[in-house]
Amino acid sequence: MRILWFSANSYSDMCFTSQRELANGLTNSGLDVHLINEDSSIPDSDTSWRHVGIKSSQIAGLKGYSLAKNMAKWLSGDDHSEPTVAVVDWRLITQLCPVLSKKNIPWILLDRSPPADVGLLAKLQWSVWRRAWRLVAKHKHSKGVVVSPKHQQFVQSRVAVDSTKFTQLPAGVNLDTFAPAATISGLKLVYHGRLDKHRGILALPMLVRKCQSAGIDVSLKLIGDGDCYTQLSAIAADMNSISVYPQMSLDEVAEHLRDSTIGLLPMPELDVWAISSPLKRSEYCASGLLIFGVDHAGHRFDDNNYDWMKLVPQYDFHQDCIAWLSKLTQREISKLSQASRNFAEQELGWEHSINALVECIQSLND
Q: What is the pLDDT of residues 207-251, one digit of tens each?
A: 999 999 999 999 999 999 999 999 999 999 999 999 999 999 889
Q: What is the mean pLDDT of residues 258-286?
A: 88
Burial of 46 (0-12, 13-18, 19+ CB in 10 A): exposed
For the beta carbon of residue 14, count every other beta carbon within 10 angstroms. 19
pLDDT at 117: 62
Give residue 276's pLDDT.
74
Please tell me what DSSP assigns to residue 55.
-
Instruction: Give the pLDDT mean for 310-337.
Output: 94
Chain CA centroid to CA 8, Å? 14
In this predicted structure, what is the pLDDT of residue 45? 62
Confidence of residue 302 (pLDDT cuts 50, 70, 90): confident
**What does the pLDDT read at residue 49?**
87
Look at residue 30 in the predicted model and tell me its pLDDT.
94
110: number of Cβ within 10 Å: 26
- Per CATH, domain 187-347 is 3.40.250.10: no
Coil vs helix vs strand at 75:
helix
Q: What is the pLDDT of residue 269?
A: 84
| pLDDT for the residue numbered 138 | 96
Q: Which is the CATH superfamily of the domain at 2-172+350-365?
A: Glycogen Phosphorylase B; (3.40.50.2000)
Domain boundaries, the chain: 2-172+350-365, 187-347
What is the number of alpha carbons within 13 Å of residue 332 lying toward its C-beta? 11
pLDDT at 4: 97
